[in-house]
Amino acid sequence: MSFRGKFKWYKSVQKGGKKAISFTLTCKNMFKRETFDCAIMDSSGQQPSQIRRRIKLKPKESFVFNYDTCGWDWCIGDFFAIIDSNNDNILERWDVDVKVYGRGECPECHGSHRCSKCNGTGIMNNPYTHTMSQCPVCSGTGLCQTCYVPVRYGSTMYNEIYSNGSIPNPNLNKQYRIEALQRRISELQKMIERAEWNERMMQLRRIDRSMGTTFIHILNQRSQYEQQLIELQHQLDELMDMKI
């Protein structure tokens, strides 16, 4: 049997454009086609192996194994194997071999694992339009994409890479933002109620002309509060809808 196997990064469609690993197996034969059994395995034993029987590859033909084609989310420690169809012994194997930065070695984040574009929050603020959106660099994960490698939670590699405990947690961040917005919204609602109350009082007292400017001031303030409230409510809705 004559194969070439290669791991590479790609953007997964089913993961909304997130970085993922793909494996391409190519039949190196010039004329002969290959029929074989193969398996995808996780050496940490957390995932059940994926075994495929009687796969056929024509000369020079390739087959791609990734999250979009076969549902396997490659992690460090996984490997692809050609297996013996009689006893499932491994005949040839390829281990995930993407670059892994040592602790603090990443030229982008220097080991913090935070995406430098969104500072690990996964969210981008646009101060001009008052809108929020998912960070386009890290696809909302908050993780530095230069040193990102998929690892299984709890595996030795996971502990080696993320042992300093500073992994960005966009979900937690999102929750904090939602709470802060909700607090600000309820403050504004109280301020609006107070302004409405003041307005009513002034109307009841039939204020004289000298009070006119104060009255207009109160009206202006109320409309400003209402404007802010609409903006914040909009941000809150956007944040709630955001998939992170």
Per CB under 5 A, residues contacting Zn ion are 106, 108-109, 115, 117-118, 135, 137-138, 144, 146-147
Q: How far is the CB of 97 from Zn ion (least distance, A)?
A: 19
**In the 8-state DSSP scheme, what is residue 101?**
P
Q: What residues contact residue 65 under an 8 Å CB cut-off, 6+ apart?
A: 22, 23, 24, 25, 40, 72, 80
What is the smallest separation between the CB atom of 109 and Zn ion, expressed in angstroms?
3
> What whole-number distance in Å separates Cα of residue 95 and Cα of residue 66?
14
Minimal distance in Å, beta carbon 147 to Zn ion?
A: 3
- Least Cα distance to 185 among 221, 242, 132, 236 occurs for 236
CB 160 → Zn ion: shortest distance, Å? 15
41 vs 138, beta carbon nearer Zn ion: 138
Closer CB to Zn ion, residue 155 or residue 173?
173
CB closer to Zn ion out of 21 and 218: 21
Token pair listed for 234:
């909009």
The tally of CA atoms less than 13 A away on the side-chain side of residue 180 is 8
Smallest gap, in angstroms, from Cβ of residue 59 to Zn ion? 41
- Distance (Å) of CA 207 to CA 39, 134, 196, 212, 213: 84, 50, 15, 8, 11
CB of 172 to Zn ion, least distance (A): 15
- Given a contact cutoff of 8 angstroms between Cβ atoms, the answer to whether 46 and 152 are in contact is yes
Q: Specify the 3-state DSSP secondary structure of 97.
A: coil
Q: Residue 167 corresponds to which amino acid?
A: I
Q: Tell me whether residue 52 or residue 117 sits nearer to Zn ion (CB atom).
A: 117
CB of 60 closer than 8 Å to CB of 82 = no
C-beta of 37 vs 108, nearer to Zn ion: 108
**Which CB sits closer to Zn ion, 132 or 135?**
135
